[in-house]
Structure 1
């Protein structure tokens, strides 16, 4: 590995000991999922090279404790530096946007395979370049898959997004965790009295975390802080979770009207709340 005399597995042993030494051999075996005999042979080789030492545990003489020697620490640091250099060469030619896409994809793989240690706390931030296109695309993808709405709905969302003027009094918020976008909501200034909540979305993978409510709260707070007296929104009766959030935050159903979206029957609703 990295032009050294050691295999990937041997380097992993050095890595774990460098970050958690001293360690019982049983703990090391469980952590790496190695056969006891295979691990014993690896430890014997590394010990013969002067990279580690083994001794009986003071707490339980039946167990062995392993720790890196000074030479072992030096060898690990060399391997670690070469690994970082290799990654830098791989990523150095990528644009920053491609690096972000790569990291997001890697995080998704870990999450989908159930290997992630747990979802990172989400943050809510203003939109950046690329966020508006993402919001339109995810609205189209999610609602087409879950409700059968088609390209006409995507055009509607794109039109609403195109009306927002972030250089004036409109605003938006993106929820993310670990660099992955998880949701959004937008604020439209109608006049000095009235505002609109627009395009609330929470990714299916992030539902149940309270993210939708937090986004709506942010939009409502902004409307009140900016002097508006009333905020309205458009939704549909099939969006049960969103309607529950709106009702829980004081919105009331103002009107409803039957319609069709891509051949699918829908009920459009207008909700409002005084501020």
Structure 2
């Protein structure tokens, strides 16, 4: 008989260099978080969405600033050209008056007339550019996230566990919740069943057992890292539950599936040591033999 290996020791075993610690499950600050609860997943999604909005807002601010600077610069040039054109027009009028009395001024009038025409053409071109830039600004503003809109979005991104079923599980009695959760699990509707078990946890009804069943729904859907996290939470609340042999066995299988044979062996050995003679211990023995 192998020496007894206590569960708390097993759950603290670190993974290999290529895998994070079992206790790393649920770390939202990790570059590759895993083993997240439903609420933690919502928080992570919200963090990503907020970051996307922040990046978009910064990009829009930069774009608006750049276009505004161009508009200001071109506006200044246009004003200068307009002033110069007005001055040349006045000069042209005076020369035309002199031509009437002195024919020798005709060449000067012709040259100045060409300059006035050129200035008018430049002004027309600048006006076209200004209209185009104004259109760009309008387009930016139509998609711009204002400070008020941004603040409103942040408020909307508060984490709330949603109503997850047309049967409104939040309004169901604990007994009805448990019955429906087990029915869905029995029919292999694991995603829906998980929502009911999560509602049970939220209502503090059979929390340890509900966490174990959440782990089972994740295990059945091959969400092995998430399952280990749920099993860990369940075991921390009740190490003497009747489902502990299955919890240890499935924790071992989950670790084996993620490629961590060393930790898988530890869980199998714990299952055999603590719950010898059970079906879980028998399967653990068979799996352990294949790993050696």
Establish whether TM, by shorter chain, passes 0.5.
no
User: Larger Cα Rg: Structure 1 or Structure 2?
Assistant: 2
- TM category (shorter chain) comes to under 0.3
Report the TM-score, using the length of structure 2 for normalisation.
Answer: 0.25
Report the TM-score, using the length of structure 1 for normalisation.
Answer: 0.26
Higher normalized helix content (fraction of residues): 2
Bigger RCO (CA 8 Å, 6+ sep):
2
